[in-house]
Structure 1
Amino acid sequence: MNKRVEPPRLGEPYLLTPGPLTTSFKVKQAMLRDWGSWDADFRQMTAELRARLVAMLGDGGEAYDCVPLQGSGTFIVEAMLGSLVPRNGKVLVLANGAYGKRAAHTLACLGRKYVLLDKGDYLPPRGVEVAEALAADDKITHVVAIHCETSSGILNPLAEISEATYAFGRKLLIDSMSAFGAIPVEPAKIRFEALVSSANKCIEGVPGFGFALVRRSELEEASGNSHSLSLDLHAQWRHMNETGQWRFTPPTHVVSAFLQALTEHREEGGVAARGARYARNRDLLVTGMRGLGFETLLNERWLSPIIVTFFSPADPAFSFDRFYDLMKARGFIIYPGKLTVVESFRIGCIGQMDEAVMHEVVRAARACLDEMGVGSAAPSDTALEERARLGAA
């Protein structure tokens, strides 16, 4: 079903980012009540949150449990790595952007051994490459994959990564921060031990906690692994199951907002419908921006429905900072690029936005280029040559 989204209230701009993102008025409204973290009503809210997130996994989800944890997405990623990778384990980190590299940095901080497979900015890690890396190193116990690498907007091929991982008897951990809730990851089809995401992404809640969906057998084996008191998934899981409470002060208002967001997610039609709306947003955005002369970093095969990276125009009249300010003045907050090789910027497709909003985004971009005196939005020849050289064209 097509969802009618609400315009931002009180003059708010649309957040064209990978999260935090534009939320509905009812999600905002749900934060107006105070809750006692020890109270039975809030304990029931926590239980409902956990059960509904597990149910979103679909077939095979009955083997998993949900462990929410206070903090940003990076907190829950670190908790997953520190809790589920034994101290004598070794991890193959699949990177094609900033978040794979951040996972590697996290493992270094935790004192866990790792090997980095870095594909650069343009291309995904493939199953055959994972198989080659695992065949070459029998000490690797886990593989870490980013579901949607929002540095570039690449949607990585989890199915073939998972198949290669388990063919060699290793375990897959997934950072699905910017994809869960819009792109299905059914355990019956894609095997994994744990997946993490955050409240303020595709479920369209607000920032304040992340959550791990973990195979119960992995949680049972995780006792004593963690380097941290507060980021110990096993301890949080055990405490929640015993008391119904979070171990430390929970973000009560954020939980309340998230439950409303989950209700709206279900009413829209669940994962499939949410992902379809985002895909329509992406398709209209890409078509419109290409019509203005912009080029996407990626070809259609790897474009996610989450966020799209565009090369910056080569025209000397173009300045991203000026473009950003002009877009913001028109009600749209976009995102700077995060590539290492060429200048770029990003526009998100997620949140309370539909095709009508994306039409306005393209019109605003056209007006900004005119105001800046940019004659052509085409990127430099160097950027296009780099893309072709790396096989992303």
Structure 2
Amino acid sequence: MLPDHQTLRIPGPTPIPPSVQKAMAQGMIGHRSSDFKQLLQEISPRLKPIFGTTHEVLLLTNSGTAGLEAAVVNSLQPHDEVLVLVTGAFGERFVKICETYQAHVHRLDVQLGRSVQPEQVSEFLKQYPKVKAVFVTYCETSTAVLNPVAEIATAIHDVSDALVIVDGVSCVGAVPMQMDEWGIDIVVTGSQKAFMLPTGLSFIAISEKAQKIIDQNKQPRFYLDLRKYRDSIKEFSTPFTPAVSLIQGLQQTLNLFEEEGLEQVFKRHVLMRDMTRAACRALNLPLLTSDEDASPTVTAIRPIDFQADELRGILKKEFGITIAGGQQQLQGKIFRLGHMGYCAPSDVLQYISAVEIALKRLKVEIELGQGLKAAQEVYYHAI
């Protein structure tokens, strides 16, 4: 392996396209200059289709988790009742954030590797009519589950006036998001996933209903005060110093999205998921999720005849390929293959081939090429 040849196949951060790297390497501009104002003016309307909204998408210089915290601190007051749908580690994170701000948290826990069913949510909410907000993770990265947020939102609205707040960090930009049509009130994502940028930006879209609640909220907040960002973006500015280089890179990311076409972006991610899952089945690698629940951005495998972390170590040592392990209860029990953002079907063929060699190193009884063939068949018949 070449010493500096490294490949990221984790569900974030994801690889950065060369053209985006070049855009970020431009000369610095002042964040209060007319050049930066023009940059935001050009970018702002182009973000809206990705979120499926007519509302402004706010840009914050922070991580995706800070974006989630901003959603909580702006929409809730202490002792508000909330429902958190917990399908893994990032549902747990929403619980911790809400509890930090003294919300009264009700949990709906789902078996790891399964998605939330809309009827579960509506039945749960009937027991708690005072719930002010429901928090759901769109893609639960830790289990590779894609929750049906459109149907969940409908189920919520059928029985409650609660806000619907979605963590879209690990999938927005790679899967459809029709925020306005689906009745979602707040959507948060981050720059280091499908947006193909380094960590450092969060994106937050807010419905009119949620904005009214935010305006009336007496909860103290300063840097994460979304009212400041909303008022600033109207003037194509930011309330605090932004990550200028990342926003220059974002402009090129949007160029790439538009050049490929969002629908084709979504289809590419579904294809990579299907190729990966077909290969795993051919290799008798147990998938953690069903086809119905599987995310287009990451695939989780729970091996039974070898150690997940040993396979990860071989891929890293021999090929410079980094894949993800498990989190919390799944630590050491699963490995996860990221296929998100700057990733193509050819990359899937590469990591499947490398996984096969790693399996042979681990004395797993497979025939080289059997997983690769299955992935190739999926690709061949899809194109």
* 1:165 equivalent in structure 2: 156
When residues 266 and 12 of structure 1 are mapped into structure 2, their CA distance, relative to the original with a 3 A threshold, is: farther
User: What secondary structure sits across from 1:362 in the alignment?
Assistant: helix
User: Offset of 1:164 from its aligned partner?
Assistant: 1.5
* 1:391 equivalent in structure 2: none
User: Offset of 1:199 from its aligned partner?
Assistant: 1.4
| Paired residue type of 2:169 | M
1:30-79 CA-to-partner distances (Å, cap 9, x unmatched) read 11121211111112222333321123334xx22x2211111111000000
User: Offset of 1:209 from its aligned partner?
Assistant: 0.7
Q: How does 1:302-317 map to 2 (within 5 A)?
A: 302-315=293-306
* 2:373 equivalent in structure 1: none
Contact 1:121 1:339 in 2 (8 A): no
Distance 1:227 1:47 in 2: 30
User: What secondary structure sits across from 2:342 in the alignment?
Assistant: coil
User: What secondary structure sits across from 1:309 in the alignment?
Assistant: strand
* 1:387 equivalent in structure 2: none
Q: Within the alignment, does 1:361 sit opposite 2:361 as a pair?
A: no
User: Offset of 1:14 from its aligned partner?
Assistant: 2.5
Q: How does 1:124-143 map to 2 (within 5 A)?
A: 124-143=115-134
When residues 333 and 105 of structure 1 are mapped into structure 2, their CA distance, relative to the original with a 3 A threshold, is: same
User: Offset of 1:339 from its aligned partner?
Assistant: 5.6
* 2:276 equivalent in structure 1: 285
User: What secondary structure sits across from 1:106 in the alignment?
Assistant: helix
* 1:97 equivalent in structure 2: 88
Contact 1:337 1:344 in 2 (8 A): yes
User: What secondary structure sits across from 1:297 in the alignment?
Assistant: coil
Pairing partner for 1:237 from 230, 241, 256:
230
Q: How does 1:1-393 map to 2 (within 5 A)?
A: 11-33=4-26, 34-58=28-52, 61-62=53-54, 64-168=55-159, 169-223=161-215, 224-241=217-234, 243-270=235-262, 272-315=263-306, 318=307, 320=309, 322-328=310-316, 329-338=318-327, 340=329, 343-375=333-365
* 2:377 equivalent in structure 1: none
Distance 1:371 1:29 in 2: 39
| Percentage identity across paired residues of the two chains | 24
| Paired residue type of 1:131 | S
User: Offset of 1:226 from its aligned partner?
Assistant: 4.2
Distance 1:10 1:32 in 2: 24
When residues 278 and 139 of structure 1 are mapped into structure 2, their CA distance, relative to the original with a 3 A threshold, is: same
RMSD over aligned Cα, in angstroms? 2.1
User: What secondary structure sits across from 1:76 in the alignment?
Assistant: helix
Q: What is the TM-score normalised by the length of structure 2?
A: 0.88
When residues 203 and 233 of structure 1 are mapped into structure 2, their CA distance, relative to the original with a 3 A threshold, is: same
User: Offset of 1:126 from its aligned partner?
Assistant: 1.4
Contact 2:180 2:207 in 1 (8 A): no
Distance 2:7 2:219 in 1: 39
Distance 1:96 1:154 in 2: 8
User: Offset of 1:153 from its aligned partner?
Assistant: 0.8
Contact 2:174 2:340 in 1 (8 A): no
User: What secondary structure sits across from 1:334 in the alignment?
Assistant: strand
| Paired residue type of 2:226 | L
When residues 10 and 46 of structure 1 are mapped into structure 2, their CA distance, relative to the original with a 3 A threshold, is: farther
Contact 1:206 1:258 in 2 (8 A): no
User: What secondary structure sits across from 1:364 in the alignment?
Assistant: helix
Distance 2:154 2:238 in 1: 35
User: Offset of 1:10 from its aligned partner?
Assistant: 10
* 1:380 equivalent in structure 2: none
| Paired residue type of 1:214 | I
Structure 2 unaligned blocks of 5 or more: 368-383
Contact 2:308 2:325 in 1 (8 A): no
Distance 1:216 1:44 in 2: 26
Q: What is the TM-score normalised by the length of structure 1?
A: 0.86
